[in-house]
Amino acid sequence: MKITAVEAIPFAIPYRKPLTFASGEVQVAEHVLVRVHTDDGVIGIAEAPPRPFTYGETQDGVVAVIRKIFAPQVIGLNLLQRETIHARLARTVGNPVAKAAIDMAVWDALGRTLDIQVTELLGGYTDRMRVSHMLGFDDPAAMVAEAEKMRDRHGINTFKVKVGRRPVELDVAVVRALRKALGESVELYIDGNRGWTASESAAAMKQMADLNLLFAEELCPADDVLGRRWLVSRIDIPFIADESVPTPADVTREVLGGSATAISIKTARTGFTGSQRVHHLAEGLGLEVVMGNQIDGQLGSMCSVVFGSAYRLTSRRAGELSNFLDMSDDLLTEPLEIRGGELTIRPGGGLGVDLDPDKLARYRQDI
């Protein structure tokens, strides 16, 4: 079970329509496929979705750091030496998405070697998760139409609404239209991607007080320390920290400092090993947890549901697992299907998914 090679393969797949939010816009999935090879002939896979407007990583940067720094550090190690792998990757500052993809590919390779599902290796609580769909910026009618399509076609009844525009009334109108059209049985929560100030956030939340929102996420920047604490103390629903809590230490600082009361776990930035640490910390602190989405493709979305389904806490809420539906194509041999508002894990060892070699050849960027 020794690691003999680590590949970083850039690929690009267009979205059918861009996803727009306060901190950026994504029109093409310029991601990196990571493959970990072992001396047993097993290949573990994972997806790295760089987000320069959030973590500073680019596709070229992820490829370079894996090929030049991370691969030499893990080649020769055993798949069971996950703590050693984690420690060696941690020597390099930043690069969370590159580190996470290597970690998840190692777990996938281990599961394939043992013929055990990664969900079972992690915890094995259930085999599925409810799905939440993210709605990007648009006018109220278009966002209502998209939500209704997702509900009618896929059975999705939880929606995360991107907010953070000015004036705040633009987004208040959207959320109000969604609640009116979809009814009280649908779960709605909002994500500002740090787009508003603390005072703007408070004003918006006051205007939406009657809309029965589930959560509010990253409405204002965490770096606005006093303003964020003031905001969190004023609202009466859980306030999710997402991009402000990429590590367990960040979770501790934000929560104990009064800047968040819930967190988002994204396997795309913490892998499985780091996500375990964040999960256990959240469990100990009594926090609400949501499985987030980094605008992942199908491989990344499967990683999210594999981790989220492994634990009671992470499977309690709907996970953000559906944005791959907006991509024009993907790399898996068997596309993921959301049925009855749920996404289930696949049978077989590891992640339970395989790559289509023809599609990889079509979309890879390094040949």
Q: Catalytic amino acids?
A: 162, 191, 217, 242, 266, 294
Among candidates 210, 211, 191, which has minimal Cα distance to 201?
Answer: 191
* Contact assessment for residue 365 and residue 11, using Cβ atoms and an 8 Å cutoff: yes
Print burial letters for 325-351: b (CB count within 10 Å at least 16), e (below 16): bbbeebbbeeebebeebbbbbbeebbb
Q: Is 196 helix (H, G, I), strand (E, B) or coil?
A: coil
* Bond into 167 cis (ω within 30): yes
Segment holding 270, helix H or strand E: helix 267-270
CA distance linking residue 14 with residue 295, whole number of Å: 12
Instruction: List 48's β-bridge partners, or say none.
Output: 32
Among candidates 137, 131, 104, 157, which has minimal Cα distance to 323?
Answer: 131
The one-letter code for the residue type at 71 is: A
Among candidates 361, 367, 358, 356, which has minimal Cα distance to 299?
Answer: 356
CA 120, 124, 130, 135 torsion: positive or negative?
A: negative
Print burial letters for 50-89: b (CB count within 10 Å at least 16), e (below 16): bbeebbebebebbbebbeeebbebbeebebebbeebbebb
CA distance linking residue 68 with residue 37, whole number of Å: 17
Angle 304-223-197 from CA coordinates, rounded to 5°: 95
